[in-house]
Amino acid sequence: MIASNADAQAVIEDVNRKRRQAYEEIAKRNRTDIRAVETLAGEKAIQNTTPGNFVEGPGGWIKK
């Protein structure tokens, strides 16, 4: 079965909503700003990315 663009977009939105909820809970639990949680999560994701894969930074997508 091939997913449609609408199906893919629905999955993306669901994942992003759940991620945002998790970040909000972490920020609340640690009494910090959600932006700090988002930044730390992004940094960890980049660190855990396998060399050769692409990551998005301030200047756009780059190969790690």
Question: Rounded CA gap, 32 and 29, in Å?
Answer: 8
Tell me: the pLDDT tens digits for 5-57?
Answer: 889 999 999 999 999 999 999 999 999 999 999 999 999 999 999 999 999 98
| pLDDT band per the 50, 70, 90 thresholds, residue 1 | low
Question: Rounded CA gap, 34 and 14, in Å?
Answer: 19
What DSSP character marks residue 49?
A: S
DSSP letters of 3-24? PPHHHHHHHHHHHHHHHHHHHH
Question: Rounded CA gap, 5 and 7, in Å?
Answer: 5
Tokens of 1: 């079965």
- pTM of the predicted model as reported, rounded to 2 decimal places: 0.76
